[in-house]
Structure 1
Amino acid sequence: MPRILTITLNPTVDFASDAHIVRPTRKIRTSPVATYPGGGGVNVARVIRALGGETEAVILAGGEIGTLLKRLLEERGVPSHRIDIEGQTRIGFDVKETYTGLEYRFVPEGPEVTDAELQAVLDHVVADDSAWVVASGSLPAGAPRDFYARIAEAAEARGARFVLDSSGPGLAATLEAADVYLAKPNLRELGELVGRELTSDEAGAAAAELVRHHNLTYAAITLGEDGGVLAGPEGVLRLPALTVRLRSAVGAGDSFLAAMTWGLSEGRPVEDAFRLGMAAGTAALLTRGTQLCRREDVFALYERMAAL
């Protein structure tokens, strides 16, 4: 079974809780509190493991919170490789206001990283034997804008396929400089890449344009209630969204990327892997906070998606 290496340069420990109502100045009593390992690549590794895939999560982690992050991954059975950093790993907060159903997310910027710490990530990618490398999440302070491109080049040099889910300069620089097998920008990010504001109806054509003009094999764009599109050598595939009862949208994109990448690594046709990703992204809507998707929900929704 091909192993999938995930890279998280700016991970978090996420605390999720409920509050009756959120107001300024007053103390906000929250209950209960759940703690999760977080950050894009960490979430991807958690979902791959839940689906039955082989994975390892590479994390830049520092301080007491970094130690907690490593322990939380171990408790969930997710193999990880910690690269120690001088800074303290960040803490994220997710608060669900039960009175309105609104969700508030507080995400700190995170610590600055050094060249030596980043080089340790590249060294691990070079020495690893995984068939797939997934880089997901924001670039930390101190990382050059082309660092994901360097990871892509290191993966390509040993024959691994590279998957990217990031934003801003890091995403643009990687698509300009490196070969990427699968990228997952959202609609806003896609618009920034093609140089114009987009509606969901324009996403398919814009994704196809992105593929044509870069060394990118597939572009997958999730559109919330408008479904999703996949652009690649075969053309553009659009799927509608499945209707479910929403608990939280947190982690839907990570769940999508994890399931699609796992499906591809298993040898599924790309259209089938895309449907599996759509099912996982929808399944994440059924759980609270950063709990992510459940295996049984993913495959139940996949059966519905496969009929579309």
Structure 2
Amino acid sequence: MAIATLTLNPALDVTTCTEKVRPQHKLRCSTPRYDPGGGGINVARVVTHLGGEATAVFPSGGPAGAMIVDLLEEQKIVILPVPIAGATRESFTVDEGRPGDQYRFVLPGPELSEDEIAALLDALFGVADVTHIVVSGSLPPGCDPAIFKRIGARCAEQGVKLVIDTSGPALAACEGAGAWLIKPSLREVADLLGREIKSEDDEMAAAGTLQQRGFAEIVVVSLAERGALLVGDGKELRVAAIPVEAKGTVGAGDSMVAAITLASAEGKGIEDALRYGIAAGAATLMTPATELARKEDVERLYAGTGSS
């Protein structure tokens, strides 16, 4: 049982710290930390760290792309980088003081040609023994959101479960794409439906509306500090967040998706999978900068959720 991830717009995450962010001043920063970033890459990292099998497929170009490849190889992540003509983007995070605010600067990334997209999809569907495919993160500039329907059709042909975690117009394009699971935030659900969501009952009803409209068989809605809810597989579930001391927020959603997908691939029921996902998201909050969930933290937090 293996998981493959696709990151269409990866980023080299650069993280540093300065005492105070002020306009029109030179800001002296600490030694930067470099991490491979992008939704699908983060999912593959977490799945691997949790003991699962994952292959990360992504476009790679320029010095930032080469560094992402090097960093993932150092972490023993199985990768299939696809060369592109453009340069992979960088994402820049500045932590202000200790503790303090966090500022995240995200660049747009390169456009991909149709040949490059075709090569990425061929690499993705060439991974052996895959049961789940996760497409996570933003789309690169100029990429047609209909790519999700292309991916969904090929997943259906091969009997693979498709997980999608994206936002904006890309998320709107997931309607009818044949996804097994999507994980929007509550704000993203409200944007999709074009209305305010006013109560817990309304939250569950809104998720049910997305499921009925064919966004996915299972809709998981992230509720931030309140946890998450799920509609699908004949169930309506709400799982509370696990209180932890948060050191950073980067990658928490990706960790949640990774753990849910891994639990499903290992045959766990959807309620246990959701609890495992909540635990992985909380474990990532406990780590600094762009570091992701640690297995020992995930297992400890998961054991405390009343999982079966």
Question: Residue 124 of structure 1 corresponds to which residue in structure 2?
Answer: 123
- Is the partner of 2:138 in helix, strand or coil? coil
Cα deviation, residue 307, structure 1: 6.0
Question: Residue 244 of structure 2 corresponds to which residue in structure 1?
Answer: 244
| Bigger fraction of residues in helix | 1
Cα distance between partner residues in 2 of 1:200 and 1:277:
24
Equivalent residues in 2 for 1:115-264 (5 A)?
A: 115-129=114-128, 130-176=130-176, 178-199=177-198, 201=200, 202-214=202-214, 216-264=216-264
Q: Does structure 1 retain, via aligned residues, the 8 Å contact 2:5–2:124?
A: no
After superposition, give the CA deviation of every residue in 1:9-45 in whole Å (9 maximum; x if it has no partner): 0001101122111111211112132110000000000
Cα distance between partner residues in 1 of 2:113 and 2:48:
30
Question: Residue 55 of structure 2 corresponds to which residue in structure 1?
Answer: 56
Length-normalised TM-score, structure 2: 0.96
After superposition, give the CA deviation of every residue in 1:24-72 in whole Å (9 maximum; x if it has no partner): 1211112132110000000000000000000100011111211111111
- Is the partner of 1:289 in helix, strand or coil? coil
- Per the alignment, do residues 65 and 307 of structure 1 end up closer, same or farther by CA in structure 2, a change over 3 Å counting? closer
Cα distance between partner residues in 1 of 2:307 and 2:144:
44
Cα distance between partner residues in 1 of 2:113 and 2:69:
20
- Per the alignment, do residues 34 and 261 of structure 1 end up closer, same or farther by CA in structure 2, a change over 3 Å counting? same
Percent identity of the aligned residues? 42
Amino acid paired to 2:270: V
After superposition, give the CA deviation of every residue in 1:108-146 in whole Å (9 maximum; x if it has no partner): 011111111001122223333311110000111121121
Q: Does structure 2 retain, via aligned residues, the 8 Å contact 1:5–1:133?
A: yes
Cα distance between partner residues in 2 of 1:200 and 1:13:
39
Length-normalised TM-score, structure 1: 0.96
Question: Residue 33 of structure 2 corresponds to which residue in structure 1?
Answer: 34
Q: Does structure 2 retain, via aligned residues, the 8 Å contact 1:275–1:302?
A: yes
Cα deviation, residue 99, structure 1: 5.1
Number of aligned positions between the proteins: 306
Q: Does structure 2 retain, via aligned residues, the 8 Å contact 1:187–1:200?
A: no
User: Which stretch of structure 1 is more off in the superposition, 34-43 or 190-199?
Assistant: 190-199
Question: Residue 11 of structure 1 corresponds to which residue in structure 2?
Answer: 10
- Per the alignment, do residues 100 and 283 of structure 1 end up closer, same or farther by CA in structure 2, a change over 3 Å counting? closer
- Is the partner of 1:131 in helix, strand or coil? strand
Cα distance between partner residues in 2 of 1:175 and 1:305:
32
Cα deviation, residue 200, structure 1: 6.3
Cα distance between partner residues in 2 of 1:190 and 1:249:
20
After superposition, give the CA deviation of every residue in 1:53-109 in whole Å (9 maximum; x if it has no partner): 001000111112111111111011101001111111001111111255111111101
Cα distance between partner residues in 1 of 2:148 and 2:215:
14
- Is the partner of 1:16 in helix, strand or coil? strand
Cα distance between partner residues in 1 of 2:32 and 2:9:
22
Structure 1 unaligned segments of length 5 or more: list them. Answer: none
